[in-house]
Amino acid sequence: MTRKDFFWETTDEPHAARRKLILEKYPKIKELYGYDSKTKWKVLVVCFLQILSCYLISQLSWFAIILIAWSWGGTLAQFLNLAIHEISHGLAFEKETHNRLFSIFITNLPLGIPASVTFKRYHMEHHSFQGEATIDMDLPCKFEGIIFKGKFLKLIWVFLQPLFYILRPIILAPKNPTIWEGVNWISQISFNFLIYYLFGVKAIAYLPLSTLLGMGLHPIAGHFIAEHYVFNPGFETYSYYGPLNYITCNVGYHNEHHDFPRIPGSRLYKLRQIAPEFYDHLPQYDSWVKVIWNYIFDDNMGPYYRTKRLLKNKQIANNHKIN
């Protein structure tokens, strides 16, 4: 039967406790901590490809642009989105300032939408307060659970996922803007104007279209659902071990990432190799497309299939510290 409420837990999230157990047994895992110097070069290549695409599509029809934005541009944009995720954890450079500047002035620009600074503010809370209903803005709200039922409406919900990720924190947990968010907006507007000046209106439309379409009904966007939607009651985080990890900074290793957010995505497979007994028995996926399909066509699934917590914020703050 379709659920009428979320899965509510009074226990702590599983990652801090598992991290402690793993480090007690395998202290050498701390050697995997740090940053990956190759990340910046991958980002630069993808940024170049997306800007080159702006030039190449500038004379095409709108239909062709939309198709290319979904298929090619959406894939590149998803890589950049997930690189921002990686950089938000300080995993591209040794110094935090270098991570922030690279994220704003390089990684974010081909997305067409200023997101990197605000994303980091909310994403750190997703890690520190996973499932806490008033803080973790990765969680769907009650409105989504009430409205988006049935196959057709769930299909619409999947397509509109980027809008929910944008609007949910603004409406439910607004924050005062920071200077760095202002810098993020100014740099993005300036870059967008430059793209418009050089390549025209179709090019500037292509960038945000790629970002929004790539986050919606797109094979890689299956990671949004796969990561935390409860397909197996009793488990709230899931890993994906399929080939798309190669172009998504290994974000599919999601249990591993939440357990050890200081390990860059390129080394998370080593964590699983060192401590397989902590991960191999957990529910896992090998296809994000299948996850999307099951979410839409399984009548039992929907936005309510997420775990929320009843713990008090103070207790969570004391017990959930990302190492």
pLDDT one-digit tens code per residue, 274-315: 999 999 999 999 999 999 999 999 999 999 999 999 765 555
Per residue in 248-262, pLDDT (tens digit) is: 999 999 999 999 999
Per residue in 105-121, pLDDT (tens digit) is: 999 999 999 999 999 99
Per residue in 138-196, pLDDT (tens digit) is: 999 999 999 999 999 999 999 999 999 999 999 999 999 999 999 999 999 999 999 99
Determine the Cα–Cα distance for residues 281 and 158; give it in Å rounded to an integer.
29
Could you give the C-alpha distances from 83 to 1, 76, 91, 120, 255, in angstroms and in order? Answer: 38, 11, 9, 12, 18
Per-residue pLDDT band at 320 (split at 50, 70, 90): very low
Residue 1 has pLDDT above 90, yes or no: no
Q: Answer yes or no: pTM beyond 0.85.
A: yes
Tally of helices (H runs) and strands (E runs) in the chain? 16, 4
Per-residue pLDDT band at 321 (split at 50, 70, 90): very low
Q: Are 144 and 138 in contact (CB under 8 A)?
A: no
Determine the Cα–Cα distance for residues 289 and 221; give it in Å rounded to an integer.
9
Average pLDDT, the chain: 95
Could you tell me which residues come within 8 angstroms of residue 198 by beta carbon, excluding any fewer than 6 positions away? 54, 55
Residues in the chain: 323
Q: What is the pLDDT of residue 2?
A: 74
DSSP H or E run through 308: strand 307-309
Listed as own residue / partner, the contacts of 142-146 with beta carbons closer than 8 Å and 24 or more positions apart are 144/303, 145/3, 145/4, 145/5, 145/6, 145/302, 145/303, 145/304
Sort 101 into a burial class: Cβ within 10 Å, 0-12 / 13-18 / 19+.
middle
